[in-house]
Amino acid sequence: MKTENYFTLKEFQLNNNCPECYSNYGLQLTFKQKISDTIFLKAVTSKTINKMHCNNCNTNIYPICWDSDIERVVAYHQRAVVTKRNLWKLKPLAYVFIAVDILIILAIVLIMTDAIRL
């Protein structure tokens, strides 16, 4: 049960022409960073994505539609975005799993050294 979510790092309003409606205002560029969530841990990864949306014509602008001006602006803003550092956090189930493993290993060692007799 692994889920992948993204949180917004930064949003920019662009003054470039929209490839769909040719409006000068309304392009919005959003940078997002990936969060991986499992039953044992929650991790922020270094993977980032960018999405462009025109608020004027309400369409998503995909990279295949970008012209050279938009590509330069996106590259500029991509260098300016500071990502959050990679980190991971264990969930309570992971701590329980680790504690049970330590107890099992400890019991095996004590039985092998004859500290506990069965």
Predicted confidence (pLDDT) per residue in 40-78, tens digit: 988 888 888 899 999 888 889 898 988 888 899 999 998
Domain boundaries, the chain: 3-91
pLDDT on residue 29: 92
pLDDT at residue 109 is higher than 70: yes
Integer Cα distance of 105 and 51 in angstroms: 49
> 1 falls in which pLDDT band (50, 70, 90)?
low
How many other CB atoms are found less than 10 A from the CB of residue 42? 16
Token duo for residue 19: 């490839």
Q: Output the CA–CA distances (angstroms, integers) from residue 14 to 36, 58, 74, 82, 98, in the order listed.
A: 30, 15, 9, 19, 49
How many other CB atoms are found less than 10 A from the CB of residue 57? 14
pTM above 0.75, yes or no: no
Residues β-bridged to residue 32: 8, 49
